[in-house]
A and B are shown apart, each in its own frame.
Chain A
């Protein structure tokens, strides 16, 4: 589903060069839950942005569903993103003037779907995420966990092939993190969506089929887990008490 070849990203700040990514070669299959871990500054976000086509690589290829997105024009890319990709942000990024249901319906509005249809679909996904009671609330009237559930609903409402998430639970407490993660994984599994998630928390990453570990812009580990390993890791994660706020 996702394929990269010799992916490289160099930032030039003044005279200094920062190699954020050096020669990344990856292959992520359809329906895979792929977690990217690594220390802060290791290049996780840069890689995710590159995969999602939010940023152009300095060199190399990113292919999604067989299409090379690195050579697409900005409008073609927007089109492609609208039809195939979803995105979940760390800080939710809901539009403050819109209600929850309107926020979820936003991608459908951008796609030009009629109002009735998009509100209907948005409500359905909201209730699947367990926040239908907040449908008419503005983001400022919701807790972080609720906002992120709305954000997840917004990513799923267009039924994308791939969903990218950059530290989606980074702003949430441990308890909420587990609930939100569970909700996300359930949706992904149900739709067979390819899911790429950045996290700096190895215990969260352990819930994925594939765990890619970055260090200084290089892949130092590309681990595939068996279903039983995943089951075990998830069971451990969700059974742990979270009084301490630590995993």
Chain B
């Protein structure tokens, strides 16, 4: 039998029993709508959660930590950072290295009037920052050079200027600091440094001085002068080449003085030499090695790895974990959140699955009835030499067609339902129905809508339509298998019986 004839023959048979066919299809429509709408709610929650998390920070950044690594894991050192870069989808990797070797203040202004005490100095791979997705407020990323003599190029965060204190004023004086000012929601700082294209600071009054265009001196503490009863300093000039647009979520970069790892290590060496020589000469010197691991840093406490896309996070995270490290990332947090969402989903999905299951039973019942009614007809077809495959095919096409048509109608109705859900408040107000009922929270979305105000309640991507169409057809086909097998077993003698 030709496929086209098979299709036509079967669909003609469906059309012959219109009423029953339509009822069965309605069952499928309900099941498909339930599943599509449930999944669309889930997609919407996930999308809203994603939007919310995007506000929290970079979803594609992984922090690899030395602490808690499995024993036998190689050191988290430069070689390992290089190894991370080789992992597929990794676009950048760098430690954010804060040394425990030395300590110092950063001074500016005449007579070193402005001081950033215990300044946060961070060493990074100079090529990595741009790859990590950082953007500049002004200047460039070029901190790779070693500088001339004691001049060291640095990047500063856009909140770093707030770390200076006016040393001429007492700690308690309200004017001793220029403080960040926040918006009413505490989401943004309103007085961040603002530079124009020419590098001119547009809001100079918010700061003591323009950090980008001032002479900064890093005063590294290199010991204690017993005779003069004061700390000894070794001075370096820091040259800001750019200011990074940090964010509330990236406190470290937003508030640091950032230099290349090479320069950082050079400073460590300088410090060791200076302390070593002075302690050798002066005697009784206290060594300033923080963290009790003087001079022997076998790698970094943590390394940041940037991935090209959120979708590849799980892969990359898995590979890093396989090396033996613990990691932390927003996407991991996200996965935990999504996990909770998924549980709600599973429940809703279960309900939807039940309705589709009922639809499947319905199809089975309809097909069984059809076959019982057409026993004689099937017998005749067999006497005429119809192959078992064709008989099975005829009934599978019928049940598959019920699923397919139900799928199409279900998709169309789901589209409408989704539209209604997404415009529920407009629709209610259009109908002049006063309602305090927050349908979003009924679906567990209540908390989200306050953080993501324009979040949709239901999102149906194209793949979901296609998926449900294919799925409904498959459900139809599967429901048809048992009845079709029954039809195949019908004896050709049925054509002759009851004569």
Contact = CB atoms under 8 A, between A and B. Distances in A.
B376 A93 contact: yes
A90 B497 CA distance: 10
B13 interface: yes
A54 B493 CA distance: 6
A82 B390 CA distance: 13
Most chain B CB within 10 A, of A55, A78, A89, is at A78
Given A81-B385, A93-B376, A115-B5, A110 B390 contact: yes
Contacts of A166: 496, 499
B21 to A, nearest CB: 14
Most chain B CB within 10 A, of A89, A91, A93, A170, is at A93
Contacts of B12: 97
Interface string A19-46: 0000000000000000000000000010
Most chain A CB within 10 A, of B5, B388, B495, B496, is at B496
A57 interface: no
A90 B499 contact: yes
Interface string A71-83: 0001100111111
B388 A78 contact: yes
A109 B5 contact: yes
A79 B387 CA distance: 7
Interface string B1-21: 110010001001100100000
Nearest to A87: B383
B493 to A, nearest CB: 6
A245 interface: no
Given A75-B388, A80-B385, 4 more contacts: A52-B383, A74-B388, A78-B387, A110-B385
Interface in A153-204: 154, 166-167, 170
Interface string B469-495: 000000000000000000000011101
A129 interface: no
A97 B17 CA distance: 11
A49 interface: yes
Interface string B354-393: 0000000000000000000000110011111111111000
Interface string B297-336: 0000000000000000000000000000000000000000
Contacts of A74: 388
Given A95-B377, A97-B13, A112-B1, A107 B493 contact: no
Contact of A97 (B16, B380, B383, B384): B16
A106 interface: yes
A95 B380 contact: yes
A82 B384 contact: yes
Interface of A: 45, 49, 52, 54-55, 74-75, 78-83, 85, 87, 89-91, 93, 95, 97, 106-107, 109-112, 114-115, 154, 166-167, 170
Most chain A CB within 10 A, of B9, B16, B383, is at B383
Nearest to B380: A93
Given A49-B493, A97-B13, A110 B386 contact: yes
A110 B9 CA distance: 11
9 contacts: A49-B493, A78-B382, A78-B385, A78-B386, A78-B388, A79-B387, A81-B384, A82-B386, A87-B384
Nearest to B9: A109
B499 A91 contact: yes
Nearest to A76: B387
Interface of B: 1-2, 5, 9, 12-13, 16, 376-377, 380-390, 491-493, 495-496, 499
A220 to B, nearest CB: 24
B378 to A, nearest CB: 10
Contact of A54 (B2, B5, B383, B388): B383
Contacts of A49: 493, 496
Most chain B CB within 10 A, of A89, A97, A110, is at A110
Q: Which 5 A-B pairs have the closest CB atoms?
A: A82-B385, A81-B385, A93-B380, A107-B384, A90-B499
Contacts of A97: 12-13, 16
A83 B383 contact: no
A110 B381 contact: yes
A49 B16 CA distance: 31
A115 B12 CA distance: 16
A79 B493 contact: no
A82 B386 CA distance: 7
A81 B383 contact: yes
Contacts of A115: 5
Nearest to A95: B377
Contacts of B381: 106, 110
A71 to B, nearest CB: 17
A55 B493 CA distance: 7
A148 to B, nearest CB: 13
A150 to B, nearest CB: 13
A95 B382 CA distance: 13
A54 B386 contact: no
Contacts of B385: 78-83, 85, 107, 110-111
A91 B1 CA distance: 25
Nearest to B376: A93
Contacts of A167: 499
Nearest to B499: A90
B496 A45 contact: yes
B373 to A, nearest CB: 11
Contacts of A111: 1, 385
Nearest to B377: A95
Nearest to B16: A97
Contacts of B491: 54
Contacts of B384: 81-82, 87, 106-107, 110, 154
A49 B499 CA distance: 14
Contacts of B390: 110
A23 to B, nearest CB: 22
A79 to B, nearest CB: 7
B391 to A, nearest CB: 9
Contacts of B383: 52, 54, 81, 87
